[in-house]
Structure 1
Amino acid sequence: MTFSELKSFLDEKADFYNAPEFIDNDPVQIPHRFSLKQDIEIAGFLTATISWGNRKAIINDAEKMLDFMEQTPYDFIRNVSLKELQTLENRSIHRTFNGEDFKEFILNLKRIYNENESLEHLFLVEENEGNFYHALERFRQNFIGNVQHRSHKHVSSTYKNSSAKRLMMFLRWMVRKDRKGVDFGIWKDIDPKNLSVPLDVHTGNISRKLNLIQRKQNDWKTVEELDTVLRKFNAVDPAKYDFALFGLGVSKDF
């Protein structure tokens, strides 16, 4: 395909998959149950954190976290006590993300929301930065704090060349805004032009089949390689192509 043909193909597929029906079988359905900004952020962040593996299992396990938080994430996190969290220590949540990890995440979120109205300003991209490479590391350091804990492995580090797929997916949910109804677009101080496609097995494989990328690893260097092409297609909203690449990969239409 020529550049123009490939752009048209991906634009068409992005339009097709970026629809309300996408929500029904995707983890994004979890934050869509809420209207309060902080509830959406917390439910989205925790759901994105466990978003690897089978999508049905991810949704079911996100339900476990919501049930523990009494279906009121923000109110629960603001008011929960250490004693209430003790029951989490021997629980299973999602694969290697266990109750001890969930407890630490809750405590970190409690600390952050005691100091901030929203998570948004922890992810800000500075003026001389064109992507989230540095912003994600700043968020990571702020979130995990100074105490070593096993849960830290669940917050990806771009400085270790991670694609940070789950964090990028969370950012897409919070930052992208269109009229399709999938992404929320509730964060106004972050420009969607800086977003990257969350790179996973599906998006990586389809991107290679379409010759969008050449690198074989799904790491941050590959994220930037994919950025170079997708931002030529759409410099204002490059992350919209996540719908095309992920949709094609999951549906096996290509």
Structure 2
Amino acid sequence: MSKQRRPLIAGNWKMNGLSQPAATELGELVRLSNEHAGPNCDILICPPATLLREMATIAKGSAVSLGGQDCHAKESGAHTGDISAEMLKDAGGDYCIVGHSERRADHGESSAVVKAKAEAALRAGLVAIVCVGETLAERDADKTLDLISSQVRNSLPEGATATTTVIAYEPVWAIGTGKTPTPDDVAVVHAHIRKELGSLINDSDKMRLLYGGSVKGSNAAELMAVANVDGALVGGASLKAADFWPIVETCI
């Protein structure tokens, strides 16, 4: 796969993973990446925060980076149960996902909240992966592009650049359902995001745009070949190295 921007293949483990099996799977992913002397893409795993420090030890010196799945907007304070971006950085993280549809829906996170979290990630020296995406009802009502515009404009952190921020388009109706939009559908949305970014940041042509939503080995190559798709945000297929590696291989 030849891309203008270096692809990023990111795995979001969500609320899955206990110490020993997680260590085994990450160890296998590290082994595969070492065998290929570093694939032509960046590889990222975002495990539960409880595993991050342990996973950082396993991944140290390899081509596999680690990140968090969410962070609080504040650096510290009386926020029981929350984790700051600085804590993720201290535990070995390099990235942080913010604004995933499951956070927006399950926790009522607005784009303003997502923006604050993205800015916290940048403050801590993490790369923010800002998620956007529409529901099936919004797509059926022909509101996709308007919604994406609003989410991009209102979730993008102040001072965002192509090196500090990534955008991930995840149609909500495709997450964990086995359904995916057609490559043409993805191309339309990613082109729209690229156009929106052009009015917001100076290096918009260099910012990586990921596609997420039921990405797996069988459809990854087709999706990664779409214009303005610079990698993938992978859910269920990232839990096993044997399932995740074929997606990484689309970049080799």
TM-score after normalising by structure 2:
0.29
Which is greater in Rg? 1
Higher strand share: 2
Structure that is richer in helix per residue: 1
- What is the TM-score of this pair, normalised by structure 1? 0.29
